Structure 1
Amino acid sequence: MAKIDIRREHGKSAAEARAVVEKVAARMAEKFGTKGGWEGDAYAFSGSGVKGAIAVSDSDVHVTAELGMLLSAFKGKIEDEIRGKLNEYFA
């Protein structure tokens, strides 16, 4: 299993950052069929071939994920996509 671990600082309040994560989670559910929910300050999600969390603090967002065997081949592309979205939503 390939692992993804990305942090991105943000200038939003924790509540604003959580709202952004909820939008991202809704898009992931629509596009990839993931399911999840809040566990404390982290949105835990899972789907076919992926399991992870998006943790929110007052200063940063921390994305962690474990990719199944099929998705592991696309780890670099997936990391690039995550970084791009984090930059887009938390710039």
Structure 2
Amino acid sequence: MADVRVTQSHTVSHDDAKQKLGSFEDMMKKYGVSANWSGSHADLKGTGVKGAIDITDSDVRVELKLGMLAKAAGIDPDRLRKSIGRRLKEAFEGG
């Protein structure tokens, strides 16, 4: 089960949604998390975290599972959830 789950609605094509996720992916790279895309699905992997991004016709879903290293580093799942939600909202709604 995911420690962090965020859903952001959208009204754009899958390709446009993927493009809007560019700034979100840039932010993830700063924290050492990479996205490996296959169509509308990306596997996420980084030190102490793994998960996925899924683009559907109506929303984008981000799910993360925090590993022991992330938990030991004091990563707060609720704070992370809010941060991801805010960044996705900015990407899709402009604020």
TM-score category of the 2 structures, normalised to the smaller one: 0.7 to 0.9
Residue 46 of structure 1 corresponds to: 45
- Of all paired residues, the percent bearing the same amino acid is 33
Cα deviation for residue 43 of structure 1 reads 1.4
Q: TM-score, normalised by structure 1?
A: 0.84
Q: TM-score, normalised by structure 2?
A: 0.81
Cα deviation for residue 41 of structure 1 reads 1.4
Structure 2 portions without partners, runs of 5+: none
**Total equivalences in the alignment:** 90
Structure 1 portions without partners, runs of 5+: none
Question: Contact 2:2–2:63 (CA<8 Å) still a contact in 1?
Answer: no
Taking structure 1 as reference, are residues 69 and 2 closer, same or farther at Cα in structure 2, changes over 3 Å only?
Answer: farther
- CA distance, structure 2, for counterparts of residue 35 and residue 15 of structure 1: 19
Q: CA RMSD in A?
A: 1.9
- CA distance, structure 1, for counterparts of residue 55 and residue 2 of structure 2: 22
Deviates more, 1:3-12 or 1:46-55: 3-12
1:87 equivalent in alignment to 2:86: no
Cα deviation for residue 26 of structure 1 reads 3.0
- CA distance, structure 1, for counterparts of residue 54 and residue 86 of structure 2: 17
